[in-house]
Amino acid sequence: MIKVFGIKNCDTMKKAFAWLEANGVAYEFIDYKKAGVAEANLPDWNQRAGWEKLLNRRGLMWRKLSDDERVAVDEQKALKLMAQYPSLIKRPVLDTGSQLLVGFSPENYTEALK
């Protein structure tokens, strides 16, 4: 079963849910903010996708960070920040078991889930 991790009220998540439903793809949704699973999954996600891809530097949470928190971000600092603030993780994170897709792109979903 495909697992989709994210935050329910996110606009990008809504687009991903709509795409999955329109294409008949069954999935399990896990709200990583409520379920508290982000920190436990970060090592695996980092290994499979890389922290640079996971870290959302465009969102409101990134802008809310202090200058000290945003400066000189490396792998260790990024993982610590994403564990502390799950909203910093780019959404959605879709795990097919064999592939990890970060962010939503209809083209990437079509290619990975055909």
Q: What positions carry a catalytic annotation?
A: 10
β partners of residue 30:
5
How far is the C-alpha of 100 from the C-alpha of 74, rounded, in Å? 21
Give the tokens for residue 42. Answer: 């970060």
Distance from the Cα of residue 3 to its chain's centroid: 11
CA distance 46 to 40: 11
Going from the C-alpha of 100 to that of each of 4, 38, 63, 105, the distances in angstroms are: 10, 14, 26, 13
